[in-house]
Chain A
């Protein structure tokens, strides 16, 4: 019998596969045939698990035995706003233990919204000889002691990024644990640390790492020490300053200005806590090269912001407080034609009255003046359908649009109508929209528009919107690419959820809090859908002590291949397939 196939030797296939990095493509490759599946799984080096409870570490390790880089996400996004009670979960320890023995050559760990202990950090530092990258984004559960272990033991560390994590600050001396002969730091982000780190250790570290590209300092690093640091690292590409305030002194200013001028590669700036405006001109020499500017902690007023931003002609990303005002956004629109991303944060989020003249007009200006604008996060206090329609028509290339009108249920301020048609225009014109956050007064109609038009939408955030289950039904039945849906304080109940139960298996997760979903519906969903974990989160006590029709407080539904988890706290119940298994 003639042999079938023109099969290449495995080595050739492996070599070809090594050029394929994206998970989607690799997943497709692995479905071609048995041998491709095997070759692919042995050659996969990066794994991304978007929900740490969707699969167990054992299963990942069994399928992909030679992984070098792992990225895990834990808590749902609304945990950022304190909607997920403390102790819900997201513990990384089981993953670290499993990988410590299975992946001795692991190089990179990236975590988001997970709980990691000092023990795990120590285990990481001792288990992976070639460990290079540790990124802890919005994590918690560890202290500077854990960081000390990383510093002391990870000889090949390139990147230590603490993101916006909550770190228990026991001592600033952890930084001194980097050995004197350690010189490989490329990226260091300690901006989230509340207390001082040993400054002399920091200086020496910066001075001996010639490949340092990113340095994000914390607020405790004083301005008069910054020049010194910059002089030791003129090759920096990304810098986060510490506190940007000091008594105005000409010598400090000229040192700083000189130091900035010496950083010819600087493309990104952040930090700027407690800004003293008199020191801002020190950065003017490098403004024209800046691509990214994060002024979201800088409490400076519009005129200074305008002076700064007008010099940044190559700016691609700007994060700023609403102190910039509509006038500042006009200036931005006029000067920064390469702008891709704008985030405007509220300076007074809990005030009842607008404290600055920042309105929908600022966003409209930027949408007109910046042809590449594709990502927006905007907090404001008034909006109109007309403005949203203008923005939509101006920027059909928008991919991420998050609007937060601070007061819930705020209608179009001109017509007093709901903002349905405005957001409808956004989803209709922006055909590549992947992420959307809604706010303002909204009826079920907006969801009809979204379900009809937002075919590429992957993540939707909804708050204080809608009128009935029809709203939720439109989303779940219409948005073909929806992966994450998070809802709070909307009158959505059981019907739409149960009618679209199968849809939930095509998504990563659904969050619903302060809605009208009954306990009975949750049980039903859990029973019907074994491929989902249906978690009822309720700090009032066991839901089965109340009538089944009673709405539950919070619902978190996610697809999983590893069944119910066993690390739940007392206020979380998983609705299991077999009611007898339900822990209550």
Chain B
């Protein structure tokens, strides 16, 4: 029996019956299976999914200008990566990358998007400074992990940073138990606490980083009541 013909094939004047594809190798006469064989599932869901009128298709498509995005914080592009951890699992974003597309070779991608934003990192008590490339990281979490690794140069104990997003970010050197707070100097020369602004904004404005010991931090810290080191309850 002939397969269901998609409407557009009939209407475009193609005589589908004549061009009906049969299974059989050329020149093979009399071979029993040369009549049409329906391969089950060949007119698969993938085909029907593409049968749309073009005006509908156009509305769904990127017309090269603005792009309609499904999630609702599209207005604030910078907060995307920072809020990754907070958000519930979203439906696949329209911005999701397709594997191997566009067809650009890997070595080209690295070269083009690679930029370098090196900033000095001063650690209280360390005799020399370090440098990190902020472009290597996509979030505060990644940066702080890297800074913590720098702190724990001798330790072999893997640690995770003792923080969550509602807390201020702080780091600990497990060997000494000393806690550090990361701060940075911004474009205006002001000392700021790391973590208050969206990641990308931070990267743009950060000039240098400093890790100060908690005991030296100026002022009370209302957000961390269980502070152990210097508080006398």
Q: Measuring CB to CB, which residues of chain A are less than 8 angstroms from any residue of chain B?
A: 78, 80-83, 164, 192, 273, 296-297, 299, 321, 345-350, 352-354, 379, 381-382, 404, 406-411, 413, 416-418, 441, 463, 467-470, 473, 488-489, 491, 493-496, 498-499, 501-502, 515-516, 518, 520-521, 524, 528, 547-551
Contact = CB atoms under 8 A, between A and B. Distances in A.
A321 B112 CA distance: 9
Contact of B95 (A352, A493, A518, A550): A352
B104 A516 contact: no
Given A416-B58, A498-B39, A469 B21 contact: yes
B40 A549 contact: yes
Contact of A501 (B6, B25, B47, B107): B25
Nearest to A81: B100
B42 A494 contact: yes
Contacts of A548: 40
A441 B62 CA distance: 11
Contacts of A350: 97
Interface of B: 6, 8-9, 14, 19, 21-26, 39-44, 46-47, 49-51, 54-55, 57-58, 61-67, 95, 97-109, 111-113
Contacts of A417: 54
Most B C-beta atoms less than 10 A away, residue of A379, A406, A491: A491
- Determine the main DSSP class of B at the interface with A: loop
A80 B103 contact: yes
Nearest to B103: A81
B104 A345 contact: yes
B44 A493 contact: yes
Contacts of B95: 352
Given A273-B111, A349-B109, A81 B21 contact: no
A499 B23 contact: yes
Contacts of A418: 54
B23 A416 contact: no
Given A468-B9, A470-B19, A413 B63 contact: yes
A416 B54 contact: yes
A489 to B, nearest CB: 8
Contact of B112 (A299, A406, A499, A501): A299
A468 B19 CA distance: 13
A493 B22 CA distance: 13
Contact of B61 (A353, A411, A515): A411
- Determine the main DSSP class of A at the interface with B: loop
Contact of B105 (A164, A411, A516): A164
A502 B102 contact: no
Contact of A518 (B39, B65, B102, B111): B39
B105 A81 contact: yes
A502 B99 contact: no
Contacts of B103: 80-81, 404, 463
B42 A407 contact: no
Nearest to A299: B112
A82 B54 contact: no
Contacts of A494: 39, 42
Contacts of B6: 467-468
13 contacts: A164-B105, A349-B109, A411-B61, A411-B63, A416-B55, A463-B103, A468-B6, A494-B39, A498-B21, A499-B23, A499-B24, A547-B41, A551-B46
B112 A347 contact: yes
A491 B40 contact: no
Contacts of B112: 297, 299, 321, 345-349
A113 to B, nearest CB: 12
Nearest to A138: B105
Contact of A348 (B46, B98, B111, B113): B113
Given A467-B50, A499-B23, A82 B99 contact: yes
Nearest to A298: B111
Contacts of A498: 21, 23, 39
Contacts of A518: 39-42
A407 B107 contact: no
A467 B112 CA distance: 35
A524 B111 CA distance: 45
B90 to A, nearest CB: 16
A406 B102 contact: yes
A348 B102 CA distance: 10
Most B C-beta atoms less than 10 A away, residue of A273, A321, A409: A409
